[in-house]
Structure 1
Amino acid sequence: MFYKGMVVGVISGTVLGLILKWIEQLTSKKVYTLLLNVDFIPFIGDIKWSEWIEFCFHLVIAVVIGIVFMWIQNRFHYLSSGRMLIVATFLTLPTIPLYFPLTALAIKDTPRIDDMLAFFYWTVGHILFALSLWICSFIYKSR
């Protein structure tokens, strides 16, 4: 269950990262930059990290969510696929409003806090993260 959660988290986190990177490249809205941004965190933010390391920081959060999600699926194995989609959505929902404090705290150039189009892209990316969690777990459940 722990390993499956890690894999589901890495896959879903990668999907989110790639989607936001693609959106940023197409629109110049710095949603991918915001996703990876750690410049406001004491000590960590003082270091110039490579994009890959910042992406790994993002994946740590995605893996934690993936592990919790797979634990719920394992613990409550009787839940229907539709209910597991609801669980994935509820686990992901808190990440959506994080747009506002992350934007407010960012030192580097990220979207403006009142940029509702960037917030929309951020939201879509995180909804796709939830869908990815659900799809990956559904595939794992059949194994």
Structure 2
Amino acid sequence: MKNNFIKSIIIGTFAGFVLGLLLWWMEKITGEKVYTLLLNVDFIFQGIRLSLWIEWLFHLIISWLLVYIYLIMLQFCKTWFRRLLLILLLSFLAASSYIPLTILAIKETPALTNGIAIMLWTMGHLFYGISVFYFSNFLHVHK
């Protein structure tokens, strides 16, 4: 697995499923529409009803891109601690997508001021980052 593209597909798929399933579970338990927000692409395809599979594909494409950026930036992070800081930074940036996704959403999503939804969204993206870190360590991409 010498190719960053292939590695980003593998790691991004696993981590993307961790995030998706976690936010789905959180939405089912709390009623906060964080999973709905995760799959929210209705503002791009206004008036077109997309299947769940297409919405998931968009989610995974974003995950693949984030992991690809992470893998490229790893060359500047030689220590375990720096790699962890890098993925935490990328996770924070991904979590900050809450604001534009909420503003652009057509279907019902949590409010910009919904503290519980923001906390769940942020925790989910933190777990996403930890998953990327774990799966990349598991696949030995740092060596």
TM-score if structure 2 supplies the norm length? 0.90
Question: Identical aligned pairs, as a percentage?
Answer: 39
* Unaligned stretches of 5+ residues in structure 2: none
Q: Where in structure 2 are the equivalents of 1:1-143 lying within 5 Å? A: 1-41=4-44, 44-73=45-74, 75-76=75-76, 79-141=78-140
Partner Cα distance (2:63, 2:92) in 1: 13
Q: Give the conservation status (yes or no) of the 8 Å contact 1:17–1:32.
A: yes
* Unaligned stretches of 5+ residues in structure 1: none
Q: Secondary structure at the match of 1:46?
A: coil
Q: Give the conservation status (yes or no) of the 8 Å contact 1:96–1:122.
A: yes
1:52 Cα deviation from its structure 2 partner: 1.5
1:91 Cα deviation from its structure 2 partner: 1.6
Partner Cα distance (2:8, 2:27) in 1: 28
Q: More deviation in 24-33 or 86-95?
A: 86-95
Count of equivalent residues: 139
* Letter paired with 1:24: E
Q: Secondary structure at the match of 2:139?
A: helix
CA RMSD of aligned residues (A): 1.6
